[in-house]
Structure 1
Amino acid sequence: MEFKLDKSDFSNLPTQYQTFCRNILQHIPEKQIFIDPVRTYAYSVDASLYHITPKVVVKVRNLQEVSVLIKEAKTQKLPITFRAAGTSLCGQALTDSILVVISEGWQDHLITNNGDKITLQPGIIGAEANLYLRPYSRKIGPDPASINYARIGGMAANNASGMCCGTADNSYKTVEDMKLVFADGSLLDTADAASRKSWAADANHKKMLQELTDLHDEIHSDNELKELIAHKFKIKNTTGYSLNAFVDYDDPFDILKHLLIGSEGTLALIVEITYRTVLDHKYKASALMFFPSMRDACLAVMKLYRPLVSAAELLDRISLKSVEDWPGVPSYIKTLPKNAAALLVEIRAENQAALTTQIAQVKEKLSSMTTLMPIEFTDVREEYERLWNIRAGIFPAVGGIREIGTTVIIEDIAFPKETLADAVMTLRECMNSHGYGDGIIYGHALDGNVHFVFTQAFNTKEDKERYKVFIEDICSFVVEKYTGSLKAEHGTGRNMAPFVEFEWGKKAYSIMTRLKKAFDPDNLLNPDVIITKNGNLFIENIKSMLPTNDIINKCIECGYCEVNCPSRNFTFTPRQRIATQREIARLKATKEDPALLKRFEKDYEFFGNETCAVDGLCQTTCPVSINTGNFTKYKRSLALTPRAKNTAAFISDHFAGVSSVVKLGLTGANIAHATVGTHAMEYITGKLRDISGGKMPRWTKWMPKSGSTPKTSRNNAAGPKVVYYPSCVTRMMGPAKNDDDQRQLGDVMISLLQKAGYDVILPENMDKYCCGMPFESEGQFETADRMSAQLEKLLLSCSNNGEYPILCDTSPCVYRMKKVMGEHLKIYDTVEFIHDFLLDKLALKKTDETVMVHVTCSARKMGLIEKFRTIAEACATKVVIPERVRCCGFAGDKGFSLPELNESALDHLNEEIPSGCTHGYSNSRTCEVGLAAKSGICYQSIAYLVDECASAR
């Protein structure tokens, strides 16, 4: 196979890596292999304080690709590291060799035993697994704070736990079976007797199983070692390997699959895992309890236990202070004394009576404790969720207020609960003495597990030395004074690998080194993680956090933004865009490699700028509320040429004429379509697009016909008044030739409003007006604001100075209109207006079909998901809102010129369309075009569905 990647990048690789790439290209598509400096850098970023750039990044999508890759790496003696979401905090997803990304293509699941078991591939996000289990009132046991973003592969490989699972329901305790790929490329399915037999027949595998048996026997013959292991795992512990597997199990396959939990990809790769699920209790109550001091709070939690309570989260005064100004946080928190601390306690039960009983028991248990306020539980969902939002906001709050250029560091330790009060006070003293007095302490106190968070720059040798001494002192008192765990739930990673032997002792550590040698004799699987000879590993390769722009400087590189990004499987994610910008800033500051800087800036234009959908959904899950789309718009504004500005000004001044030209083009395309047919049209336009180098827009059979502007409305003078402003997109783009309902959307909206008895007001000369959204997306802020100001003046006039509501039929336009005009006008999206004002005025007859619903990115940001669902369910017998489809990536008109972005964003759309489903609905015309092109079914505005089902009351 001819090597088509950039030859200069290829020649810069060491010879072994060149051979590796050539050979895997025989089996893995070129588009899944990255060797250029910009994309390898982008994939080098995870949530830890470390940074290492791989030489090769490979995105594998199936078992065959994994096996080929591992075998070839073994042949070339090249280390490989696996990663899923990259949300790990300890540097276990980094390498300077080959990074293997396992996310897309690894999302199959199977629920068995009526929900008692679930089998998951590693690319599934934890929260998605719980979504699949919701109909069974079950969930997976692990519940890390990152469950909405972390993937199952990483959760199992790190033995991630969380607030409620403790040590009883974590991955170790709930794993049933696994599929594994080993360092020699072999596959083992522990649930399949034939697979076990076949795998064990290999001579090398026999030796591996024999080593497990030998280690098991050695541990059981050494009471001191056996007791040490049992003691270490009475509390949370993810330092080193799960040696408790040798104590808890006798069968070598049982030992093996439990050893793999928490092994961080150093022994084998988990490509499938089956969990025993746990009950998801319906009845819950929470209380935020305040105590005079941290010691008092710790003494209180020592009186609590599972299953009486499900969680007890410790919050020190500094952590409470970090969120006390947030919306929804009770004002009395500001009045707490400086040494106060809190416990956030949750109770879960199977029925209301049990919940009430448990609340009384908790109050009784704590009756001897001094509290600053009476203990009061709430079982009102909105109220207890508000309390838990306080807890969830602490880590990001620290990230948001840190000094720019510093790194947020979160460490994770555990103590026997009987020593918790003394241990936490020692931790506080240690932090204060090393200059980290403003760091916070919080965590899962019910399990003796606390996190401490602080910020620090690493610009000088003194900075690193201070951090080094501090961590060494922490390790000393955690292990020697309190026999605790240096890592409770975040995994060992690079920052605790040098201390594994210190915590466990020589005898237990020698067991771990033998394990590594038995399963990975060439030390190729994630070397230096868990087992290392480098005592300084934890202070090497610390990432640079140079400031670059105020919009993005607060980024803590956690990766929580990535689940929403439409370009995540095409080019860059928000995290990667920001990290790359930081590297550009570093290269500019150091001037160390002008050619590399030029390459970064050039490549960023496509990977970072051109392919950003600027939808802003990244902000909705960003802990520090960064909208990377706003940064992209800002970057685009800086790059505007005088010609581009003049063009935008001309369009805005002649908007009606330009709209007419667009309509004329759509009419011509539709005539050609009708004349030559779909197949010929696709062929001809495809060739023209190829000849133009992709500059000609892509045509599909779902290309809209010309739109129209409603001229008159059928008024009901006695009814309530509403101003209906059809967006410019609606006015220009009508239904496609293959759409089921050939009416213009404007006519449908007026029909619907008439049925509800509204007096519809249409603004005059609408074709001259636009909200400015398309111009804002391209960084043409001045033109965008001028156009929105003109539109606002028009709408004020026809709404009687804001008295009447304004209804617009395109959600992205509404989002901008609310942002820039919402102070003076009452503006509603189609979904919002139908839900809030029309449903009770209409008689709806359900259609007996299944419909797809796409909630646009702008509708999501406006909080319309449930309103969308309510409307659709009022009109159709079954409604599907694909959970893994967020923004469609059409990005205004970008879907015409860059359809790959749209297609990538909708990767999972078709797999969620039920058999026989032929209709989809949304609230943005361009999004509907992209959805239809990807799915092959008709997508139109939700207004069409409602009007079809509605009649006047």
Structure 2
Amino acid sequence: MSPRMTNDTKTELLSQLALRIPDTRLITDATRTLAFGTDASFYRLIPEVVVQADTLDDIIFIITTCGEMRIPFTFRAAGTSLSGQAVSDSVLITLTDSWRQHEIIDNGERIRLQPGVIGADANRYLMPFQRKIGPDPASINSCKIGGIAANNASGMCCGTAQNTYKTVDSMKLVFHDGTVLDTADYRSISTFKESHKYLLEGIQSLCAEVSQNPELKQRIAHKYRLKNTTGYALNALIDFSDPLDVLTHLMVGSEGTLGFIAEITYNTVIEHPFKASALLVFNDIEAASNAVTALSNASVSSVEMMDGRALKSVAYNLGVPDFLPQLNLEHCALLVESRASEEDTLNAHCHEVMSILAEFSIPHQVAFTQHAPTIATLWGIRKGMFPAVGAVREAGTTVIIEDVAFPVERLAAGIRELQALFDDFGYREAIIFGHALEGNLHFVFTQGFESEEEVARYGKFMDAVAQLVAVKYGGSLKAEHGTGRNMAPYVELEWGADAYQLMRRIKALFDPNGLLNPGVIINDNPNAHITHLKPMPKADDIIDRCIECGFCEAVCPSRTLSLSPRQRIVIYRELSRLEREGNTSRHQEIQKAFDYLGVDTCAATGLCADRCPVGINTGDLIKQIRIDKYQRYEPIARWTADHFSAVTAVARVGLTANKVMQKSLGEKVMSKTVNGLRSLTKGRSPSWHKSFPTANRSNIESSSVAREKQVVYFPSCASRNMANEVGSHDGRTLTEVTMSLLERAGYQVIIPNALQDQCCGMPYDSKGMTNVAKSKSDQLQDVLWHASQRGKWPILMDTSPCGKLSKEQFEKEMDIFEPAGFITQYLLKELEVTPLDETVMLHITCSTKRMGLADTLLNAAQACAKEVIVPEHIECCGFAGDKGFFTPELNASALNPLKGQIPSGCTRGFSNSRTCEIGLTEHSGIPYRSILFLLEEATSQQPVPATSA
């Protein structure tokens, strides 16, 4: 823990930082410092200041400012680290989205990455070259390169041969005094050798000392025969002789305590196109461990071990093999995967593995398969174990996951003794799984920290684990999660006094004032691992299972504007705690901030649930909160639902007036007038911009000609009321285009009765008015049931959100399609499609993703245009029904990366949600239309025989 910053010091610091960093990137309020200060670990330190760095110059400025004032600081990437290495009670430095640049080098043999690049994105960039980065942590869809390198994170397949330490090519670094070193640039190296001669000489001295101490040198070599991230990378002192190489590799796994990794270039590894997996069950741990030893030199890429308790935790999950519930606690399974560049080679690998294991009794198995869905199910078993424990834990407890490494030849004995410790200390829910080829095991258990007795139990348990792993078995207390605060008190126990002194000298050499992430790796407090523990108070059944891992954050549209799902949960938990404790003033302060940061700016799209290990939809919590917040408006909402056609008629009048006023007044005057009114009404009236829609005045009627094929077309209230913006080159409305397209394909189009009264309920559902939403949904269900002749005919809803909500709410069995699904299942085979010779943008809506139709929409667009671009880092547009009108900053923030990704010559974009297309048009600078427009243009009319009515 850093010395408490005085008010005067904080004021002076903010004054200095404000010389370069704008106020919007200096966070000091109590609500956001708590939210931004939380990471995936079970530690809590609340920063005094959170500084968001946008450029390398920002980083240099922040570091030098803090250095001159002797103020400690900590770097944060995605905050998915588990050992407390990304929290601070002083200055927390985070990165804006500007740190996402990458460069492919040597045809994919290398890749240069900024620290803000998400690991999975790096692999996506390399996919065309059949390459990938070596590290493959389980959090790769969320964690960032800065954290991967700083923690030397590995994973299920990379082992020790392909981690960052082994695959780093070069780095760009910033040191404690703001000096920048690019180890790939000879001019930078030359300058650094002059300015930091003392540092390089100090490194050379450490290398010489180790070289002259055979016992220590041997111990270091011996320790790294296993996965090991405990302490600093002392193997750099024996693996390299050039001090620059040593320096580069010392930075790997240094957890932000030696400097800032501003850029890293990786030597990439092969991504084999052919993969096969098998699940093999053995009678006990001993047999499984012997099988691991037998496979140590086989052609396998990964061998994951799962003990009986781990298998039991997922035995009743959907889709698991039938034999899983029959297993007992003695059973142990291996998930084996092999990879190859050729299918014949892969088959040979699989045959080799099973031949090696022929002498073992394998009572249950899923044989090697290349079937992608089966492979996904098998790996889902393995990946589902951590969240399985989290999902069933007692409210108020946290989930702790540790990772140790035993010598492979003593794996079974180590597991048995570890299981005995679980029983001795009362952790009977604990499970073990891990990367067996490296002897790397994760164990997961639940722990409460609400009482001194519970804290003491955890402390004694960790003492026992440290003695077992580090002393008795000579293993690693941290194999891939980083030392952090959690294992800092045990570093010397594992390494010995002389090696620990080396680490202290490394820290002093790089960070003479001790300002970089103090308390991490090197910590003089023997109780650091049981200090500053994070409270996990019971708050709500929806979110009590949350482990604050941060996997949700990458897909949240409000994460750069206000709060992410994890941060909303953190604040909601704090509000619950304060309310129980009766701290009224503090509760009111945070509640006031949360109303906007947490509630008003949440899109409530549910994308977070798809990324959450335990499936938490934070949007459901926010909708629940909105029930109370908007309760006083429910009578008005009920009236609008009962008089829906009149309300929408008034809306069309307003949209018509918008068109007239825009043409007569001009955009500048119009904007000043309408947005001025919005200011006077304190945001209760909609914002205006030039992409605001005009009124849809087209008639929507059923087909007059009877045909054999029929479809019920339900135009959403958005599409039947909103036409294109003023100045649109296409004067047709979505309803006109859809009717034309369906009739061209040979359909008799059925329009539901009382169309103007119908709504799927989305406008009410998003505000938490579930009763009103349900009544509108039920009304629509009855109308569509009648129109479709009791589900005989398919139903097309022309916007994806309406389709999704209706599929979820309707109880009667009907085939409901949004545009992409209907195009793919019906229209592409019924129309002659000639792809347009142009590049188009495509926005895949969050509702499309949640329905599993992202590829369907992409395939539909690719059938209609020569090139389709799906922009990066836009998971949701943030328009969220009517929030694009009333909380426009959410839409602007979510779409901030869009405009810069539109290539020269691209003049159009497409999607499948009318409201989303309004915001997309405004923030891209090009018109966005429904995918049905694109298909209509790409198809030619075919003669369709008419039948008599």
Counterpart of 1:264 in structure 2 is: 255
Counterpart of 1:93 in structure 2 is: 86
Deviations 1:769-790 (A, max 9, x none): 1111100111111111111111
Secondary structure of the corresponding residue to residue 554 of structure 1: coil
Cα distance in structure 1, aligned partners of 2:606 and 2:157: 32
Is 1:587 aligned to 2:563, yes or no? no
Cα distance in structure 2, aligned partners of 1:12 and 1:737: 55
Counterpart of 1:177 in structure 2 is: 170
Matched residue type, 2:456: E
Q: How much does 1:907 deviate?
A: 2.1
Cα distance in structure 1, aligned partners of 2:704 and 2:737: 14
Does the CA-based 8 Å contact 1:219-1:246 persist in structure 2?
A: yes
Does the CA-based 8 Å contact 1:84-1:122 persist in structure 2?
A: yes
Secondary structure of the corresponding residue to residue 200 of structure 1: helix
Cα distance in structure 1, aligned partners of 2:154 and 2:241: 25
Secondary structure of the corresponding residue to residue 749 of structure 2: strand
Does the CA-based 8 Å contact 2:700-2:735 persist in structure 1?
A: no
Is 1:247 aligned to 2:276, yes or no? no
Is 1:535 aligned to 2:526, yes or no? yes
Is 1:22 aligned to 2:15, yes or no? yes
Q: How much does 1:804 deviate?
A: 1.4
Report the RMSD for the aligned CA atoms in angstroms. Answer: 1.4
Cα distance in structure 1, aligned partners of 2:219 and 2:715: 72
Counterpart of 1:79 in structure 2 is: 72
Counterpart of 2:634 in structure 1 is: 645
Cα distance in structure 2, aligned partners of 1:53 and 1:88: 16
Q: How much does 1:12 deviate?
A: 10
Is 1:340 aligned to 2:364, yes or no? no
Does the CA-based 8 Å contact 1:348-1:355 persist in structure 2?
A: yes
Counterpart of 1:8 in structure 2 is: none
2:554 aligned to which of 563, 576, 582: 563
Cα distance in structure 2, aligned partners of 1:823 and 1:474: 56
Cα distance in structure 2, aligned partners of 1:622 and 1:641: 29
Cα distance in structure 2, aligned partners of 1:442 and 1:716: 64
Q: How many residues align?
A: 939
2:388 aligned to which of 397, 406, 409: 397
Q: How much does 1:861 deviate?
A: 0.5
Deviations 1:810-838 (A, max 9, x none): 11111111111154322111111111111
Does the CA-based 8 Å contact 1:85-1:103 persist in structure 2?
A: no
Matched residue type, 1:100: I
Counterpart of 1:187 in structure 2 is: 180
Q: How much does 1:718 deviate?
A: 2.8
Mean Cα displacement is larger for which, 687-696 or 405-414?
687-696
Does the CA-based 8 Å contact 2:80-2:142 persist in structure 1?
A: yes
Cα distance in structure 2, aligned partners of 1:261 and 1:517: 17
Cα distance in structure 2, aligned partners of 1:823 and 1:576: 38
- 1:17-166 residue pairs with structure 2 within 5 A? 17-166=10-159
Does the CA-based 8 Å contact 1:139-1:280 persist in structure 2?
A: yes
Is 1:504 aligned to 2:501, yes or no? no
Is 1:669 aligned to 2:658, yes or no? yes
Deviations 1:605-656 (A, max 9, x none): 01100111111111111111111111111101022343x1111011112111
Cα distance in structure 2, aligned partners of 1:740 and 1:346: 54
Secondary structure of the corresponding residue to residue 376 of structure 1: strand
The structure-2 alpha-carbon separation of the partners of 1:669 and 1:778, relative to structure 1 and needing over 3 Å to count, comes to same
The structure-2 alpha-carbon separation of the partners of 1:62 and 1:670, relative to structure 1 and needing over 3 Å to count, comes to same
Counterpart of 2:407 in structure 1 is: 416
Matched residue type, 2:166: K
1:836 aligned to which of 825, 836, 845: 825
Counterpart of 1:811 in structure 2 is: 800
Counterpart of 2:599 in structure 1 is: 609
- 1:864-879 residue pairs with structure 2 within 5 A? 864-879=853-868
Secondary structure of the corresponding residue to residue 878 of structure 1: strand
Matched residue type, 2:726: K
Q: How much does 1:950 deviate?
A: 0.9
Cα distance in structure 2, aligned partners of 1:886 and 1:715: 41
Cα distance in structure 2, aligned partners of 1:917 and 1:684: 33
1:519 aligned to which of 510, 514, 522: 510
Does the CA-based 8 Å contact 2:843-2:870 persist in structure 1?
A: yes
Does the CA-based 8 Å contact 2:283-2:362 persist in structure 1?
A: yes
Matched residue type, 1:865: A
Does the CA-based 8 Å contact 2:278-2:365 persist in structure 1?
A: no
Counterpart of 1:196 in structure 2 is: 189
Q: How much does 1:716 deviate?
A: 4.8
1:697 aligned to which of 678, 686, 698: 686
Cα distance in structure 2, aligned partners of 1:711 and 1:614: 31
Does the CA-based 8 Å contact 1:84-1:103 persist in structure 2?
A: no
Mean Cα displacement is larger for which, 523-532 or 734-743?
734-743
Mean Cα displacement is larger for which, 142-151 or 350-359?
350-359
Counterpart of 1:4 in structure 2 is: none
Cα distance in structure 2, aligned partners of 1:883 and 1:393: 27
Q: How much does 1:739 deviate?
A: 3.0
Matched residue type, 2:829: D
2:731 aligned to which of 733, 738, 742: 742
Is 1:913 aligned to 2:902, yes or no? yes
Matched residue type, 2:168: V
Cα distance in structure 1, aligned partners of 2:170 and 2:364: 48
Secondary structure of the corresponding residue to residue 367 of structure 2: coil
Matched residue type, 1:800: Q
Does the CA-based 8 Å contact 1:85-1:150 persist in structure 2?
A: yes
Does the CA-based 8 Å contact 1:363-1:375 persist in structure 2?
A: no
Does the CA-based 8 Å contact 2:320-2:377 persist in structure 1?
A: yes
Q: How much does 1:389 deviate?
A: 0.9
- 1:350-369 residue pairs with structure 2 within 5 A? 350-369=341-360
Does the CA-based 8 Å contact 1:673-1:681 persist in structure 2?
A: yes
Does the CA-based 8 Å contact 1:295-1:425 persist in structure 2?
A: no
- 1:648-727 residue pairs with structure 2 within 5 A? 648-708=637-697, 710-727=699-716
Cα distance in structure 1, aligned partners of 2:499 and 2:41: 27
Mean Cα displacement is larger for which, 719-728 or 113-122?
719-728
Counterpart of 1:325 in structure 2 is: 316
Cα distance in structure 2, aligned partners of 1:213 and 1:718: 85
Does the CA-based 8 Å contact 1:716-1:758 persist in structure 2?
A: no
Is 1:221 aligned to 2:196, yes or no? no
Matched residue type, 2:661: A
Is 1:796 aligned to 2:785, yes or no? yes
1:776 aligned to which of 761, 765, 770: 765
- 1:376-395 residue pairs with structure 2 within 5 A? 376-395=367-386
1:628 aligned to which of 615, 618, 630: 618
Cα distance in structure 1, aligned partners of 2:331 and 2:812: 41
Counterpart of 2:269 in structure 1 is: 278
Deviations 1:321-369 (A, max 9, x none): 1111111111211112331110000000110111111111111211222
Matched residue type, 1:349: A
Does the CA-based 8 Å contact 1:178-1:189 persist in structure 2?
A: yes
Does the CA-based 8 Å contact 2:911-2:931 persist in structure 1?
A: yes
The structure-2 alpha-carbon separation of the partners of 1:854 and 1:269, relative to structure 1 and needing over 3 Å to count, comes to same
In the alignment, structure 1 segments of 5+ residues that lack a partner are 1-10
Secondary structure of the corresponding residue to residue 788 of structure 1: helix
Secondary structure of the corresponding residue to residue 487 of structure 2: helix
Counterpart of 1:3 in structure 2 is: none
Secondary structure of the corresponding residue to residue 119 of structure 1: strand
Secondary structure of the corresponding residue to residue 111 of structure 1: strand
Deviations 1:531-577 (A, max 9, x none): 01000000011111111111111111001111111000000111000
The structure-2 alpha-carbon separation of the partners of 1:548 and 1:709, relative to structure 1 and needing over 3 Å to count, comes to farther
